[in-house]
Amino acid sequence: MLEPWLLNTVWISLAFVGGLFAKRISLPPLIGFLAAGFMLNAFDITEGSQAIEIAASIGIMLLLFTIGLKLNIRDLFEKAIWMGTSLHMVIITVLSGGFVFLISVSGLNLFTDISIQTALLIGFALSFSSTVFAIKILEGRGEVNAFHGKIAIGILIMQDVFAVLFITISKGSLPSVWALALPLFLYAVRYLLFKILDSIDHGELLTLFGLFAAMVAGAASFQFVGLKPDLGALIMGILLGGHPRAKEVATHMMSYKDFFLIAFFFEIGLSGMPTWNSLIMALIFIAILFIKGGLFLGLLTRFNLRSRTSWLSSLSLMNFSEFGLIVAGIGVKNGWMEPEWLVILALTMSLSFIISSPFNQYAHQLFDRYKNILMRLNTKTDHPDDEPVNLGDTEVLLCGMGRVGKVAYEHLTKQFGNKVMGIDYNHERVKKLKKSNINILWGDSTDSNFWENVNMPKIKMVLLSTDDYPTDLNTANELYCIPNKQFKVGTLGHYEDEIEALKKAGVDFIYDHYTLIGKEFAGEFLEFLDTKST
């Protein structure tokens, strides 16, 4: 038996090597973490699996908490989200369940005969998409706040609501009567946490505040009344999302969330070693994976979303979920299915991550290649994600109107007046800035259709001002494809490798953040001293 500290070195080493190798072959690091978990299992290094399970639970809670901090609850009432989720889950449950039942009675001997009820339970497990995987994909592309990112997150949260209902029903008992007091408790806690957040500084107390809010005020309180603790962390994040410092809290929690989520992928690998039967069954289920993604694409376009939005949302949801393991665990505990299904579903989920990752990594390129086919799915009515087609006499265009973009806009209007325009793919931000009389339109600068269709005859400068490297690089790549462009492109850069990639994408000017900010600071301070001396 390994010493605890030595066991930690094994985990960290395997995670680092696996993640590094996956990155080198153009796969997300999470695939390497997943492989590391299976390696631990293969070498029978399973001591401390309980600690990994606890760390994974913390990671999921922090993930949902940070999602809640950025979520607008009104987005969940979009028909594409609540009705699209419901229809998709029903259809996939019936199709997958029927498929499993047919295989069971076909005589292929992959597993023993199962009832139609158990088959539907397995289908229900396969209808969920992984929150962890989808958010990691969206974060990696800088698209959590994009319109398609919000659609995907809304669907994931609706699925989580169905998960809570299932767990409650499967227990055979209602939550504690104290659950009725939750609204009053949450209202009081929100008021108290707002006051605390107003008073603490930007250091370690802010990090501890985030952990306390997510795990104690949120998760533990829901667990106490018999509800899903993950849901409590999400709800607490939503309640705190209205505070001016919500984004700062989310930033502080990001690295902790990423670290603990490594344990989530380890846990999958440690869930059991596959047999040939389970491997064959998992490979068969991959066919359902593509049906699942295609169904999302079809439903979202029928709910009047553009094909590109539907495509990007569908790809991030084209996977199987960790909730499948929870369903299987409940099924095994209640005697509804054989324990082998735990391994089958774990392997199916792992394969779905591996297969879905390249599709998501090249999501924009794939859409550009096949958009003539995909755009046939567009309805002929106006879409909520339609983009501007004419920029008029605009000479300066800012892509991204967050803190950096807004400051740049205010500075540029002093010289160019009303010939400066901003675009942003955050609907709420666009509405808010329009009320402040800022010249802004909703648009996605990473969309090739936007640049192909927009009329911008007088544009002289395009500033990529999201200060988010993946988004700015995707935009730069789209601008690079514009033939005979008559404007210059500028953006910000933070690291040497990112600056080199932006240069290769055709960016004309890159503001080296860490180098130039020091020069500007010194220069402006000298000007201040000169002014004072005179």
pLDDT in tens, 369-423: 898 899 888 887 766 666 677 888 899 999 999 888 999 999 999 999 889 999 9
Q: CA neighbours within 13 Å on the CB side: how many for 499?
A: 12
Question: What is residue 112's predicted lDDT score, i.e. its pLDDT?
Answer: 62
Question: What is residue 481's predicted lDDT score, i.e. its pLDDT?
Answer: 86
The answer to whether residue 272 scores a pLDDT higher than 80 is no
SS3 state at 273: coil
Q: What letter does residue 141 receive in the DSSP assignment?
A: T
For the 396-533 domain, the top CATH level (class) is alpha beta
> Which tokens is 95 given?
């199709």
Q: What are the structural domain ranges in the chain?
A: 1-44, 56-377, 396-533
pLDDT in tens, 456-479: 888 999 999 987 888 888 889 889
- Residues 173-192, mean pLDDT to the nearest whole number: 85
Highest mean pLDDT among 168-182, 192-206, 377-391: 192-206
Among 79-93, 158-172, 481-495, where is mean pLDDT lowest?
A: 158-172
Question: What is residue 316's predicted lDDT score, i.e. its pLDDT?
Answer: 94
pLDDT in tens, 301-331: 999 888 888 999 999 999 998 777 777 777 7
Distance of alpha carbon 256 from alpha carbon 282, whole angstroms: 32
| φ/ψ (deg, to 5) at 494 | -115, -35
Distance of alpha carbon 389 from alpha carbon 175, whole angstroms: 52
Q: For the residues of 252-270, what is the DSSP string, one character each? A: HHHHHHHHHHHHHHHHHHT
CB 457 within 8 A of CB 476: no
- CA-CA-CA-CA torsion sign (68, 71, 74, 76): negative
**Proportion of the chain above pLDDT 70, given as a percent:** 92
CB 94 within 8 A of CB 64: no
Which of 336, 281, 250 minimizes the C-alpha distance to 67?
A: 250
Which of 257, 182, 176, 180 minimizes the C-alpha distance to 218?
A: 182
Distance of alpha carbon 257 from alpha carbon 262, whole angstroms: 9
> Which tokens is 353 given?
């991550």
Which of 4, 93, 489, 529 minimizes the C-alpha distance to 324?
A: 93
- Predicted TM-score (pTM) of this structure: 0.77
Question: What is residue 91's predicted lDDT score, i.e. its pLDDT?
Answer: 96
Contacts of 92 (CB under 8 A, 6+ apart): 123, 126, 127, 288, 291, 292, 295
Is 396-533 the same fold as 56-377? no
pLDDT in tens, 273-282: 667 777 888 8
Average pLDDT, the chain: 84
Cross-strand bridge partners of residue 509 = 490
Distance of alpha carbon 57 from alpha carbon 34, whole angstroms: 16
What is the per-residue burial (b if ≥16 Cβ within 10 Å, else e) of 285-302?
A: beebbeebbebbbebbbe
The answer to whether residue 90 scores a pLDDT higher than 90 is yes
Among 75-79, 289-293, 427-431, where is mean pLDDT lowest?
A: 75-79
Contacts of 497 (CB under 8 A, 6+ apart): none
CB 453 within 8 A of CB 387: yes
Q: What letter does residue 423 receive in the DSSP assignment?
A: E
User: 369 burial class (0-12, 13-18, 19+ CB within 10 angstroms)?
Assistant: exposed
SS3 state at 424: strand
What is the per-residue burial (b if ≥16 Cβ within 10 Å, else e) of 219-254?
A: bebbebbbbbbbbbbbbbbbbbbebebbeebbebbe
Q: What is the rounded (10 degree) CA torsion for 492, 494, 499, 505?
A: -50
Question: What is residue 92's predicted lDDT score, i.e. its pLDDT?
Answer: 95
| Distance spanning both ends of the chain, measured CA to CA | 75
The answer to whether residue 504 scores a pLDDT higher than 70 is yes
Question: What is residue 503's predicted lDDT score, i.e. its pLDDT?
Answer: 92
pLDDT in tens, 242-269: 898 888 898 888 888 888 888 877 777 6
Question: What is residue 312's predicted lDDT score, i.e. its pLDDT?
Answer: 93
Domain 56-377, CATH number (from 3.40.50.300, 3.10.20.30, 3.30.500.10, 1.20.1530.20): 1.20.1530.20
Question: What is residue 212's predicted lDDT score, i.e. its pLDDT?
Answer: 93
The CA–CA distances, whole Å, from 173 to 160, 176, 177, 326 equal: 19, 9, 11, 18
